[in-house]
Amino acid sequence: MDFRSLRFAITLAEELHFGRAAQRHYIGAQPFGRHIQELERELGVRLFERNSRRVTVTQAGARVLAEAQAILNAVDALTDSRTNGGGPVP
């Protein structure tokens, strides 16, 4: 699992549309969908229900994505503190 895939899943939860979510990350919908499927396989849980007309977040997906968002927020905060004067680690 990588941060990129977590970001993809969070974007899909916001957009509820594979094409629009993929566009936000400047990749095609098919490779984007493969990232989501691989993430679901790695986690062993279905994050999204999908059919030809809509995408919805599952209950398990909502829990996982909330945790993923917290993790990504922490990573972003670490990155921000380093670039805003935190300096290099000795």
User: Count of domains in the chain?
Assistant: 1
Residue 88 maps to a domain: no
List the chain residues with pLDDT less than 50: none
- Supply the pLDDT for residue 89: 54
Determine the 3-state secondary structure of 36 from DSSP: helix
pTM of the model: 0.85
CATH code, domain carrying 57: 1.10.10.10
Q: Which domain holds residue 21?
A: 3-82
Residue 87 maps to a domain: no
Residue 90 maps to a domain: no
Name the residue among 39, 17, 19, 14 with its Cα closest to residue 29. 19
- Supply the pLDDT for residue 1: 84
- Supply the pLDDT for residue 9: 98
- Supply the pLDDT for residue 86: 57
**Dihedrals φ, ψ of 57, to 5°?**
-90, 130
Up-side HSE of residue 50: CA atoms within 13 Å toward CB?
Answer: 14
- Supply the pLDDT for residue 62: 98
- Supply the pLDDT for residue 87: 58
Q: Return the C-alpha torsion angle 15, 16, 19, 20, nearest 10.
A: -10
| Helix extents (H) in the chain | 3-15, 18-24, 29-43, 59-81
- Supply the pLDDT for residue 80: 81
